[in-house]
Structure 1
Amino acid sequence: MSATIESSTVTLDTSDVDKWVGKPVIFAEMWDACNATDIRRWVQALDYPNPIHWDEEFAKASKFGGLIAPQSFTVAMDYGHGCHPACVGNIPGTHLIFAGEEWWFYGTPVRPGDKLVQERRFDGYSVTDTGFAGPTMFARGDTVHRNQNGVLIAKEQATAIRYLVEEANKRGVYGKDRRAPKRWTKEELAEIHALRHDWILSNREGKSPAYADVKVGDQLPRRVIGPHSVVSFANECRAHRQNIWGTWRWNVPEGVYDPAKEDAGFGADMTYDHDASKIDPRMHDGLYHGPSSGHINSEKAEKVGMGGAYGYGASMNAWHLDTIAYWAGHEGYIWHSKTQFRSPAFEGDVTYVDGEVIEKLDMSPYGFPVVKVQTRMTTQEGETILKGTAEVQLPY
């Protein structure tokens, strides 16, 4: 696989990445178990007001007997927003963005007091020519999540896009001239707030539709998130437990080299300084200094081919999972999910989430019937930024 990939006169040197294919990578671990505040912080930042995740009295009266985390919270129990095992090896002149996630869940919810441990490996990559940046690597990383009792919670395969910054800047697909944040009128904001409120009321009690009653073509209630801002992006970043000072440690086996500590594939202006962070923890908290700083710093974003402040792939995947879970109710469960990210959510935009039942599987690989739900996320201009599917168990 090792080669220099060429597109016209543009080259993408993948030679340093090849040595990691199929190998364990990224040995980092959270110090502490999660607590109820961690879960509440997550749903607040992701604008997911399902009361079983934040309202103690409501949750205690539910079938769960107390607060539980949404399935989307699993990624917040990990180091690197879920994509880190897809981001290894040095490719000169590149940066990266998140491209998609595939998740398999195994029936055990995360609750306050749980601690997850991870096993991570670099699965491999492919290279294709894109309009965004010419020769572009689509790299895959795998993560297995288990709790403190060794119970398998979830598996994830993340895909990251590794691209040449100079080429992306030349092409200007997300150029500053195309990405001025929209200014919303009071009337427009009122419409957004009304739609958001209607969605909250659509299934606040957590009632699950019966499998027999669901039909192919059924539409999920429309959801709206935003307008996105530097503040909302910062809140999302801080909801990942790894971005709170001192929450994790390196746990590298003796004699093993961990590429995360030396070169995780971020642009030179947006990487960590682990040595400096021993004195100043800002230097590896991601937001002030590191890969997430470009999400809230327009100047940095412009240097890596983005036209301004932009959102997180991990957030979009969470919006997908949470929207489907809210519709599925307390008796519903997502066993498998897959998303492809087409574009980030930019500052000033809103995200509309639409869902539709596209298939019913009376005999599924899970041993019981499931429905397949398809989601599509669009901006106020109708631009698609995500497409996804999920296989969901419902009561008979």
Structure 2
Amino acid sequence: MTWGQINDETLAAAAELIGVPLRRDRMQWIEATTRDTIRHFAWGVGDDNPLWFDADYAAKSPAGTILAPPCILYAVDCTIVAPKLAGVQWIYAGTEWTWYDHIRINDSFKIDVKLIKQEVKTGRRFGKWALQTGALSYRNQDGNLIAEAIGKCARTPRGDGRKRKDGEEPKGHVAYRYEPAELADIEEQVLAEPRQGNVPLYWEDVDVGAHVPPVIKGPLTITDILAWYAAAQGALHYGGVHGDALRYRRRHDDYHINAETGAKDSAGRGHLEASTGRDVGMGGAYDVGPQRIAWGQHMLTNWIGDHGFLHQLKVNVLQPNMVGDTIWWRGEVLGKREVGAAKFLDLKVEARNQSDLLSASGTAVVALPSRQDGPVPLPLAPA
């Protein structure tokens, strides 16, 4: 098979794994939601909710204990299900999350993962590429189903292989230059972000058309991306470092070639280095897809407060969020419904940058307490 190529042979080899349970030893950064892993994850996305940090505060909450941000499950298993196609880039395309219960301090998890679909596509940024979709389930130490996820990953060519049929190269990114007043305004917006906290937000009090207070992230820096790596994945997905990385690459033949040194390097280098980001067709250094989705979760858990529950978050990552970009996550209530004793709100959510470019979009479902019927009835039942 030709390394780094997307062709009938390499696609057929990957398709043989559809429906087969997959090993995940390189996709799980943490096994348990300890106090340290929870706070490291929250720090990694800039979420200062005391429900994740403060034991005294959390003891007075409906859960009665420290909880973990729902998207910490990216650190338990990153949802990248992208087997085979050695030497072909991974670009994260989105997640469909469904949570059924809180993630509590000191929970541990068993993960089941399968590749469920592989589609061949063409596009404006790349010529031929593939979209691989995986299904994951997360069960806690008691065997209870806490969450399910559908993870989508684009497999795209690197280097010369990324050129479109017309031979045109993807354009490099030109960083946005902020005026001092713009930066000051962004800082004020971030510092003014509201959080519902321990005051219940009741289902009866939210109208269709209501807007979720935004969460703002940026301007994005390399440090922000490194904080995500420390919180959620490290270098693990790329085989680790030093001898671990060599042993991984001998088994999986998955790496990127450093154009300056000729040495094998991490396939994730494009997130941290502009030249590699250009080489994989993204225009420069860019964020990590799950990182951006976790920012959307931050917005929603800020809004619903300690008494609410985030049931679903389904997001497609549409554009790279480049170093220097600022993202505004926003949401709007589209509908209200009752399913048994549960009171749900259906929302649309989206992320736009400083130039109003749509960066990510999707839907969410939250469950809220009811003035008439009481608290959210957890755990929620799978559909």
TM bucket normalised to smaller: 0.7 to 0.9
Q: What residue identity is the alignment partner of 1:60?
A: A
Q: For 1:214 and 1:171, how far apart are their aligned partners in 2?
A: 49
Q: Is the 8 A contact 2:343 2:369 kept in 1?
A: no
Residues 1:130 and 2:123 aligned together: yes
Residues 1:385 and 2:349 aligned together: no
Match of 2:220 among 216, 228, 232: 228
Mapping of residues 81-96 of structure 1, within 5 Å: 81-83=78-80, 85=81, 87-90=82-85, 94-96=88-90
- Distance of aligned partners of 1:103 and 1:110 in 2 relative to their CA distance in 1, 3 Å threshold: same
Match of 1:371 among 345, 353, 366: 345
- Distance of aligned partners of 1:355 and 1:31 in 2 relative to their CA distance in 1, 3 Å threshold: closer
Residue number in structure 2 paired with 1:7: none
Q: For 1:59 and 1:168, how far apart are their aligned partners in 2?
A: 49
State the TM-score, normalized to the length of structure 2: 0.82
Q: Is the 8 A contact 1:132 1:171 kept in 2?
A: no
Unaligned runs of 5+ in 2: 1-5, 241-247, 259-263, 371-383
The DSSP-based 3-state class of the residue aligned with 2:136 is strand
- Distance of aligned partners of 1:119 and 1:89 in 2 relative to their CA distance in 1, 3 Å threshold: same
Residues 1:191 and 2:191 aligned together: no
Unaligned runs of 5+ in 1: 1-9, 249-258, 271-282, 284-288
Q: Deviations over 1:321-358 (max 9, x none)?
A: 22112111111112222111101211000001111001
State the TM-score, normalized to the length of structure 1: 0.80
Q: What residue identity is the alignment partner of 1:239?
A: A
Q: Deviations over 1:2-50 (max 9, x none)?
A: xxxxxxxx95651211111111112326675332121111111111121
Q: For 1:354 and 1:65, how far apart are their aligned partners in 2?
A: 29
Residues 1:347 and 2:316 aligned together: no
Q: For 2:223 and 2:257, how far apart are their aligned partners in 1?
A: 21
* Per-residue deviation, 1:54: 2.0
Q: For 1:301 and 1:227, how far apart are their aligned partners in 2?
A: 18
Q: Deviations over 1:248-301 (max 9, x none)?
A: 9xxxxxxxxxx998448x55338xxxxxxxxxxxx9xxxxx5233221122222
Q: For 2:95 and 2:219, how far apart are their aligned partners in 1?
A: 24
Q: Is the 8 A contact 1:123 1:140 kept in 2?
A: yes
Residues 1:20 and 2:33 aligned together: no
Q: Is the 8 A contact 2:92 2:289 kept in 1?
A: yes
The DSSP-based 3-state class of the residue aligned with 1:66 is coil
Q: For 1:31 and 1:342, how far apart are their aligned partners in 2?
A: 28
Query: Percent of aligned pairs with the same residue?
Result: 23
Residue number in structure 2 paired with 1:219: 211
Q: Is the 8 A contact 1:206 1:326 kept in 2?
A: no
Mapping of residues 95-110 of structure 1, within 5 Å: 95-107=89-101, 109-110=102-103
Q: For 1:164 and 1:242, how far apart are their aligned partners in 2?
A: 24
Aligned-CA RMSD value: 2.7
Q: For 1:186 and 1:101, how far apart are their aligned partners in 2?
A: 36
Q: Deviations over 1:145-166 (max 9, x none)?
A: 1112212111111000112223
Q: Is the 8 A contact 1:90 1:263 kept in 2?
A: no
* Per-residue deviation, 1:318: 0.8
- Distance of aligned partners of 1:95 and 1:296 in 2 relative to their CA distance in 1, 3 Å threshold: same
Higher mean Cα deviation, 376-385 or 322-331? 322-331
Residue number in structure 1 paired with 2:48: 49
Q: Deviations over 1:219-259 (max 9, x none)?
A: 111221011011111111110156579x99xxxxxxxxxx9
Q: For 2:83 and 2:257, how far apart are their aligned partners in 1?
A: 17
Q: Deviations over 1:361-385 (max 9, x none)?
A: 23x3x75231101111001000001
